[in-house]
């Protein structure tokens, strides 16, 4: 049953990632991969809230592993960082990498903290 919940969450998360990425990128331009940055931060916030809220295992499988796992994308983040370096945009690549990691960790901490405050 758990694998079906993960698959169901992923079936929503993957197209959502694509749609959010395209919408954000179209609005903010190509200076940085804003779409990937956005989905990674939002996914980290949601996952942090789920963990901090101590949701049941089945809900964590559906929303945490499935939805957030498919919504966020470490591989695309890595590829986009390398691409920026290869294009000679070293400064932007470093900003993107630092911002991505820092903001995603910060979002996860905020998610956990808010959920714990709400549910404790």
Q: Is 36 annotated as a binding residue?
A: no
Nearest partner of 64 among 120, 12, 1, 114, judged by Cα: 12
The mean pLDDT value of the chain amounts to 97
In angstroms, the CA 109 to CA 113 distance is 6
Tell me which residue range forms the domain holding 81.
2-119
pLDDT digits (tens, 9 = 90+) for 10-60: 999 999 999 999 999 999 999 999 999 999 999 999 999 999 998 999 999
Q: How confident is the model at residue 98 (pLDDT cuts 50, 70, 90)?
A: very high
Please name the residue ranges forming H helices in the chain. Answer: 2-28, 34-52, 57-59, 69-71, 74-86, 90-119
What domain count does the chain have? Answer: 1
Q: Is 78 annotated as a binding residue?
A: no
Average of pLDDT values for 59-78? 97
């Amino acid at each position: 049953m758990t694998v079906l919940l993960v698959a169901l969450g992923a079936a929503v998360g993957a197209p959502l990632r694509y749609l959010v990425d395209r919408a954000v990128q179209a609005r903010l331009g190509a200076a940085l991969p804003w779409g990937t940055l956005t989905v990674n931060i939002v996914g980290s916030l949601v996952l942090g809230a789920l963990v901090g809220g101590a949701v049941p295992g089945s809900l964590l499988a559906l929303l945490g592993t499935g939805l957030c796992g498919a919504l966020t994308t470490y591989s695309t983040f890595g590829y986009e960082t390398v691409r920026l370096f290869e294009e000679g945009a070293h400064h932007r690549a470093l900003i993107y990498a630092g911002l991505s990691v820092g903001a995603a960790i910060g979002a996860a901490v905020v998610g956990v903290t808010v959920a714990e405050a709400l549910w404790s």
